[in-house]
Structure 1
Amino acid sequence: MTRILATTTLALLLAACGSDGGGDSGPAKLSLSVTDAPVDSAEAVVVSFTGVELFPSGGGDVVGFEFDPPLSIDLLALQGDNSAFLIEDADIEAGVYDEVRLIIDTENASCNNLVAPFASYIRIDGTDYPLTVPSGGASGLKISGPITAAAGGRADYTIDFDLRRSIAERGATGCYNLRPVLRVVDNAEVGSLFGTVDPALLADSTCTADPVTGRGAAVYVFEGSGIEPDDIDGTDPEPLTSALLAPVEGGGLAYEVGFLLAGDYTVALSCQAGEDEAATDDEIAFAVTVDVAVEADAATEQNFTVTPAP
C-alpha cells in the first residue's frame, strides 16, 4: 500500500455534506486516483508525484499529503477504465474542497545539461526525454473541484490527464513540456463507453491510420449532443477526452473511454488523429459521428461500422 504522510491538518471544521441523516460524524475517507486520455506519439509518460494538497471551500488550512518516496506513475498505462491511486482511504475532515493541487518532481525548466534517469519523462522510439512541468514542483498542478467528503462516509474521485492536449516539445532542446488539461470526477457519478471499430473505416485513401493496429486513429468525445467535431486547437469545441484504438483477439479494433459523467455526448471517430497537434489548427476528418447517452455506473456500447445504424 502507498505510504501517505499527512503534512497538515484541517483546523477549520466544515459542515458535513451528503449525509443520509443517520447521525454519522467524524472524518471522511478519501481515495484519489489518476487516469489518462492517451497520446499516440509515445511509449510511456512517467510522472513523479511527491504530494497532494486539498484546499477547503471558504478558506482554512490546507490538507496535505506527502509521498515518501515519490510515486512514479506511467500515465500511458492508465487508459480506459484503468487508474492508479494517489491516496487510498485517507482520513480527512468532512466538508467541501474546491481545489486540488498535485505536486510533481519535475526537471528544471531550462532543460540544460540534464542527464538520465529523469524524475519525470516521456519515452519516444525507445529514448527517454526529460519532462518539465511548469510550476509543478512549486505551486503544483491545479484542478478545480469540488470534492465533497461526507462525515463518516467515503469520497472516491479520479483525476483525468488529457495527454493528447498536454504535451509539447520545447523546440529542439530535447525535452518536453507537460501542461496538463485536467478534470476531476466523482466515481459515484461516472460511467464508461466502449465499442469496436470496423477496420474498413481506416482503409480510405484519405486515412493516415494503420487499419491493422489502429495506430493514428482515435475516438473523440465531446460534451453535449449534436456537436460538430473539431481537432484539438484550443478553441471550442474541444474534445473532453479521447481514446486510442487497439487490436482485439480474432481481428478488428476496439476502444474504451472511462470516467465519463452521466450525460449526453457526441462521439466521433477520426482516422487522421495522428496528425492532430494541439498547438496547431489541423484539418482532420471524422469518419463517423454519433450521439451517445452515458449512464452512471454503467458501460455503454457504441460500435463504429461502415454503415452506422440509424
Structure 2
Amino acid sequence: MVFTALTASCGGGGGGGGGTATPTGLTLRITDAPVDDLCKVHVKFTEVILEPADGGTSGKVCYVPTGTVPSFPACLNSNEATVIETAALPQQIELTSLDQGSSVALLDQETLPPGEYSQIKLLISEDADTFVIRNTAPSCEVQHGENLRIPSSLQTGLKLNVDFTLAANSLVDFTIDFDLGKSIKYFKNSDSYQMNPTATIIDTLIADTQFDGTVTDSQTTPETPIDPATCKVYVYQGSPAQPDDNCVISEDSLDPTACDLIGDQPYKSADLIGSVSPYNFTTGYMEDGDYTVLLACGEDNTDLDDDLTFINPSVSINPITAAPGLNTVDFVIVDPTP
C-alpha cells in the first residue's frame, strides 16, 4: 500500500496564511480482544523496530526509550539502522481495557524516514511491569499481580508483517490488535501464565468496520441449558470450514504456526455486555470484507481446546459482506432440539 500526504488545519490566535508540510511520521495504536479468566493484563513495550522491504541489512528504524541504547543487536550498527529516541517508550499498557474498538497510542506521529517497509517488530519486557491478575484475586489491584512469561519477548519480539511505502511529508497509522484469548495460556503444572503474542495489524484509516448486535435468551427456562454468561461472539474471515475457539500449545513452544491445523481460529471476538437478556456486543474494528459471525456458548477455558455450541445469527446469512460502520447481527438462544 502507498500512503500519500495528509494535511490538517489548526485553529488558534495569530494571523497569517500559508501552510506547513506535514512531517513524515508513524502512529501505532494498541487494542485487544477479550480474555475470560483474567481481570488485568499489564504488558510493558520497550522498543519498536521497522524492517526494510528489501530484507537487507540496512534501512532498519529502531525506536528506543530516551537516553538508552538498543537491546536488539542489529540496531547497534549505525550503518544498518537509524535509532530514534522517544519519550513514548517504555510504555506499560493494560490490555483488557482496550476492547470494543477502543485503543491507546504506543507511538504517536513519531518521525519515520520515507521508504519501503515490510515488518514491524515489538519488544516486550518480562520484568515486574508485565503481569496478569486473575479473576479469582481478591481485587484487580497491582499487589495481586503474577508474572507473565513471554518466551520470545526479547529474542525475536512480536513480528507483524505489513508492506507499505511511506512518501515524504506523509503519515501512517496502524492499529495492532492483540487477541488475548489466543495469546495467553494457563499451565496447571507450573500454575503460571505464558504469552505467545497473537495479533493482527490493520490500517487505522481504512479499518472502519465493526459488528454489533444483541443476544436474546428465549429458552423456556432462562439461562438453561445454555447460560449466556458462557457465550461469546466470534468473527471469522470468509467461510470457516471448522470454526474453533482456542488452540492449545505446549508450555515451552515457540512455534507461531502450532495452531494452524486445529480448526479455524477466530479473527475477532467480543464479550456479551449486560446482566439480563437481551445482551449487547460490539467487536473491534476491521477492514471491509466477507465475514462469518457466530455465537459460541460453553465453558471457554484458555488452556483447553473446547467443544462449544455454535449458534448462527437469527436473520443474517453467513458469510456477511460487511460495509463501513456498524453492521448489526442479532442472535436468539432457543431450546435445543431434542
| TM norm structure 1 | 0.78
Equivalent-residue separation in structure 2 for 1:157 and 1:238 (angstroms): 22
Q: Write the deviation string for residues 113-156 of structure 1: whole angstroms up to 9, x where unpaired.
A: xxxxx221111022321101112123211111124433222211
The equivalent of 1:275 in structure 2 is 300
Pick one of 255, 259, 268 that aligns with 2:285.
Answer: 259
Residues in 2 aligned to 1:247 and 1:148: alpha-carbon distance in whole angstroms:
43
Q: What is aligned with 1:128?
A: 145
**Partner Cα distance (1:100, 1:186) in 2:** 13
Query: How many angstroms apart in 2 are the aligned matches of 1:206 and 1:254?
Result: 20
Q: Partner amino acid for 1:139?
A: T
5+ unaligned residues in a row in structure 1: which ranges?
1-15, 108-117
The correspondence of residues 6-17 of structure 1 with structure 2, limited to 5 A, is 17=2
| In the alignment, structure 1 residue 142 sits paired with structure 2 residue 156 | no
Residue by residue, what CA displacement relative to the aligned partner does 1:1-45 show, whole Å, maximum 9, x if unpaired? xxxxxxxxxxxxxxx93447x9x9995221101110111111011
Write the mapping of 1:210-249 to structure 2, written as runs, cut at 5 A.
211=228, 214=229, 216-225=230-239, 227-233=241-247, 234=259, 235-247=262-274
1:97 matched residue in structure 2: 117
1:148-187 pair list within 5 angstroms = 148-187=165-204
CA RMSD of aligned residues (A): 2.7
Partner of 2:129: 119
Alignment of 1:187-202 (within 5 A): 187-190=204-207, 191-200=209-218
Larger radius of gyration: 2
Q: Determine the structure 2 residue equivalent to 1:295.
A: 323
**2: distance between equivalents of 1:158 and 1:240?**
14
Kept after mapping to 2: 8 A contact 1:26/1:93: no
Please tell me whether the aligned partners of residues 150 and 196 of structure 2 are also in contact (alpha carbons under 8 angstroms).
yes
1:287 positional shift: 2.2
CA contact (8 A) 1:25 1:151 kept: no
Matched residue type, 2:2: C
* Equivalent position SS for 1:247: coil
Compared CA separation, residues 149 and 301, structure 1 to 2 (3 A): farther
Structure 2 residue aligned with 1:286: 310
| CA deviations over 1:67-101 (Å, ceiling 9, x no partner) | 45621111000001101111001121223321111
Note the C-alpha offset of 1:196.
1.5
1:302 aligned partner, one-letter code:
V
Change in Cα spacing, 1:56 to 1:280, as seen in structure 2 (3 Å) is: same
Separation in structure 1 between the aligned mates of residue 326 and residue 111 of structure 2, nearest angstrom: 30
Aligned to 1:5: none
Q: What does the per-residue CA deviation read over 1:183-242, in whole Å, with 9 as the maximum and x for residues that have no partner?
A: 1100122111111211336945442x4x4xx3x221001000475533323323111121
Amino acid at match of 1:221: V
Change (3 A) 1:284 1:292: same
CA distance in 2 between partners of 1:205 and 1:120 (Å): 39
One-letter identity of the residue aligned with 2:281: Y
Compute the displacement of 1:268 (Å): 0.3
**1:44-74 CA deviation, whole Å, 9 max, x = no partner?**
1110111111111103232111245621111
Residue equivalent to 2:64: 66
Whether contact under 8 Å (2:31, 2:176) holds in the other structure is yes
- Measured in 1, the distance between the counterparts of 2:332 and 2:167 equals 45
Q: Among 33, 42, 57, which residue is 2:38 paired with?
A: 42
- Any gaps of 5 or more consecutive residues in structure 2? 8-19, 66-86, 138-143, 248-258
AA matched with 2:212? F
Amino acid corresponding to residue 123 of structure 1 in structure 2: I
Residue aligned with 2:285, SS? strand
User: CA contact under 8 A between 1:17 and 1:95: conserved in structure 2?
Assistant: no
